[in-house]
Structure 1
Amino acid sequence: MLQFDIVIVGNSAAGLQAIRTIRRHDRTVSVALVDREPCPAYSRVLTPYFIGGKTPRENLYLVDLPFYDEMGVTTFFGKNAVSLDPERRELGLEDGMTLRFGSLLLAMGSEARPFKTGSRRISTLRHMADAEKLASLLQPAKSVTALGAGLVSVPVLSHLPRDVERHLIVASGRIFSRLLDAESALLLEEHFEASGVILHKRDDITEVLEGERLQISLASGGTLATDALVVGKGVVPNTRLAAGAGLAVKDGILVDERCRTSHPAVYAAGDAAQGKDFVTGETTVQGNWITAVEQGEVAACNMLGLQHVYEGSMKNNITEVFGLEVAAIGFCSDEAPRCVVHGSLASGRFRKVFLDERDRVIGAVVIGETNDSGLYYQMVRARLPFPGKRALQGENRYAGFMRQIA
């Protein structure tokens, strides 16, 4: 049995930020990192570029192996954590090893929602092994179908060669239904179709048959013949370890304003954690990189006894799809009390700002050039009033406004 002051389970945004934060404040505490994948941390956001042949595998890595040595972290790569006893402060690994801890951070992320398997030509995308499989599978494909219009399947289709036939099956009435409002989603749908994507909205897969090609039967009654199926039906937070240990769990692992779980020695951050939303005040699993980094830092500080408080997470997703940059910040919903729109896709610059009852900025959708998305994020965080429609006309106007209030 090995003893560490801090044990971290998970080697992505939250885990990495926790390591960096711990070492920024303390070089003496002992730290261990456990992760199921046998490699350094990498960017899942970049995997569609790798799959589409636009970047090599080595460009996916965020750090190299010497990073962990430099940070004084003992790594247990390629190992699953299978048991947790918070009272005894023991974490069990699948090889029978037990790690004792003073504090524990659960930052295991989430898993792709399962889909009926049985074909090598069907794959989700969550881990490096999935990316490698899809890169091999899609390279010779002449037709690719994606199920689910989220931040996994759409970028994969987006980075395929233009001559590949692309189908997108969406169970709901619009793409990015959990990310964008209806108007913004419709603009992107028109752009997708102009880029050659065949949309199947309010539809689903009822059967997949093997043959020379996959034969897909749709709920609408139609059929598709395709070379590969990419499944992106959302993700499920990794809560099994926490639930088995008796920690409070709903959709994710419930955490307070210090990213602490229902046990004082155990913390959670990132896609596995469910905490307060900054705008609505409700608990949610935010599932984005910035939230994971922020929660990882707050958890690390509190594990060191520094008493940091997190005001809440915010939606902050930025992606590129079919040559178009898209950012969704804060509360981007048709349920917002008021919104202000400026620009169009034709002009290459669309902005939609969402306001509360007091005309404070609570969210924004930015389509086109997204360099000013960070300004919208800061406006929501600062609970600032909307500065007027002229502010939407360019980055410099917003930057000047932010300087005035700083």
Structure 2
Amino acid sequence: MHYDLIIIGNSAAGLSAIKTIRAFDKKMSVAVFDKEAESAYSRVLTPYYAGFDTDKDHLYIVDKSFYAKNGIDAYLGDEVFRVDTNKKTIYTQFDTYTYRYLLIAVGAFAKQSHIKHEKVLTLRNISDADKLRKLFSNAKSVAALGAGLVSLPTLSHLKDDVKKHIIVSSDRIFSQVVDKSASYILEEIFKDKNVFIYKHDDVESIKDNADGSIKLSLKSNHQIDCDLLLVGKGVVPNVDFLKGEIETDKGIIIDDFCKTSAQDVYAAGDCAQGRDFVTGKSVIQGNWITAVEQAIIAAKNILGINVAYDGSIKNNTTEVFGIDVAVVGYNKDDAQNIEFYDPGRFFYRKLFFDESGFIIGATLIKDTNDAGLYYNLVKTRTKIDIFHNLNQFMNYPKFLSKLNYR
């Protein structure tokens, strides 16, 4: 069967591409393929579901009727295992299909641990969340390897009386997400949350206990008795099935039009590697907003609406142990920065700016509703002195007096 457009992937990017195409063109023949037999859902909410803070129904963004209503042939549960860009053909476990245009939005898969055991799990999809939810139901102690955007939010949704062990190879939690100061503030918050942190450490072996739990032996010689180990060591773009067909690095290389090296093939989302708005470097941003933005750009170019993407911006918001955390743009400590911290409220704001004074990023802890403001400051290349003089940091008039910024 032939389609004008085939979309591989049914998450943020795939769904946004469908909506954009149908906003301009009601007749284009479109098919979407995904290895999961699920309607599009929010991966961001899977920790809430695994930890019993929401029901499965609340994960879904659309129901299965969405596809038919929009004239989309949905092959959900039919995985694409090969693409031939010369023949413009995709191969699935059930059939072959040809395309005029192809959008690859297959996302990424969770990095696996070298430790193999039925109670060593990752969290990337609904199936993973189902397994975790079952084990969490009677858990008294849970360990996590890695302290990033999967493991920390997931642990934070467990009951207060559950012991939570966090094992990190670095010197701090959230090391790939926030700056050092923010990491240490969060660690302070965790002290009364039944959380135990093991730094510069790793799991070396695992064995079964007589009561059905497992015992982890760490590099530091510590031992942890727990009911399961959650591995949260990042993700790997799902690009292996494209080798030899499309130029890849860590992800699929795309230009500013979200085009790949293959004719009429585009990519978006967690599998796509494109220009960072702040640094200009080729990166995989790995966040929902970037996936949506790239998919819109790709879809418009497929429709013949010539539009370029001005680059992705890091943009992550999450909740850990009742505290909102948000990061926008570039937030590494090698950049010039100013910060404000109210320890009584655990309220933290840190702004990063370049040598020319342009705001390039921000870290926020608690009450992060203003994250969109900082995103726009980065996007509009606002200068730090203009923002201070005009806005006085909105509702934070004490900010400047504490900073002594000149």
- TM bucket normalised to smaller: over 0.9
Q: Calculate the TM-score normalised by the size of structure 1.
A: 0.94
- Cα 1:124/1:253, change in 2 over 3 Å: same
Which structure 1 segments of 5+ residues have no match? Answer: 398-406
**1:340: which partner in 2?**
338
Alpha-carbon separation, structure 1, partners of 2:17 and 2:354:
34
* Aligned partner letter, 1:290: I
Alpha-carbon separation, structure 1, partners of 2:302 and 2:73:
18
Deviations 1:212-236 (A, max 9, x none): 3211010111111111111111100
**2:223: which partner in 1?**
223
**Residue 49, structure 1, aligned to residue 48, structure 2:** yes
**1:199: which partner in 2?**
197
- Cα 1:390/1:320, change in 2 over 3 Å: farther
Alpha-carbon separation, structure 1, partners of 2:381 and 2:167:
38
Alpha-carbon separation, structure 2, partners of 1:345 and 1:5:
57
Moved beyond 3 Å, runs of 4+: 389-397
Alpha-carbon separation, structure 2, partners of 1:346 and 1:392:
21
Alpha-carbon separation, structure 1, partners of 2:230 and 2:15:
29
**1:115: which partner in 2?**
113
**1:404: which partner in 2?**
none
**1:240: which partner in 2?**
240
Alignment partner of 2:125 out of 124, 127, 137: 127
CA contact (8 A) 1:274 1:285 kept: yes
**2:289: which partner in 1?**
290
Alpha-carbon separation, structure 1, partners of 2:261 and 2:88:
14
In terms of mean alpha carbon deviation, does 182-191 or 123-132 score higher?
Answer: 182-191
**1:39: which partner in 2?**
38
**Residue 264, structure 1, aligned to residue 231, structure 2:** no
CA contact (8 A) 1:371 1:395 kept: no
**Residue 75, structure 1, aligned to residue 66, structure 2:** no
- Cα 1:342/1:117, change in 2 over 3 Å: closer
Alpha-carbon separation, structure 1, partners of 2:389 and 2:350:
10
CA contact (8 A) 1:331 1:362 kept: yes
Deviations 1:245-290 (A, max 9, x none): 2x11111000000000001211110000000000000000000000
Which structure 2 segments of 5+ residues have no match? Answer: 398-406
**2:185: which partner in 1?**
187
CA contact (8 A) 1:193 1:199 kept: no
Deviations 1:309-344 (A, max 9, x none): 0010010000000000000000000111x1111232
Alpha-carbon separation, structure 2, partners of 1:317 and 1:193:
24
Alpha-carbon separation, structure 2, partners of 1:111 and 1:148:
16
Deviations 1:85-131 (A, max 9, x none): 11110000022x11100010110000000124643222100111000
Alpha-carbon separation, structure 2, partners of 1:218 and 1:134:
22
SS in 2 for 1:327: strand
Query: Aligned residue pairs: how many?
Result: 393
SS in 1 for 2:28: coil
Alpha-carbon separation, structure 1, partners of 2:25 and 2:167:
49
Deviations 1:193-229 (A, max 9, x none): 2322100011000001122321101011111111111
**1:324: which partner in 2?**
323
Alpha-carbon separation, structure 2, partners of 1:345 and 1:99:
59
Q: Calculate the TM-score normalised by the size of structure 2.
A: 0.94
Alpha-carbon separation, structure 2, partners of 1:392 and 1:187:
24
SS in 1 for 2:243: helix
Alpha-carbon separation, structure 1, partners of 2:199 and 2:392:
32
Deviations 1:29-68 (A, max 9, x none): 0000000000101111111111111111111101101111
Shift of 1:394: 3.5
In terms of mean alpha carbon deviation, does 141-150 or 47-56 score higher?
Answer: 47-56
CA contact (8 A) 1:342 1:392 kept: no
Alignment of 1:265-280 (within 5 A): 265-280=264-279
- Cα 1:176/1:389, change in 2 over 3 Å: farther
**2:404: which partner in 1?**
none
Alpha-carbon separation, structure 2, partners of 1:144 and 1:345:
29
CA contact (8 A) 2:115 2:206 kept: no
CA contact (8 A) 1:84 1:244 kept: no
**1:28: which partner in 2?**
27
**2:309: which partner in 1?**
310
SS in 2 for 1:293: helix
Alpha-carbon separation, structure 1, partners of 2:238 and 2:205:
28
Alpha-carbon separation, structure 1, partners of 2:318 and 2:254:
28
**1:402: which partner in 2?**
none
**1:365: which partner in 2?**
363
SS in 2 for 1:194: coil
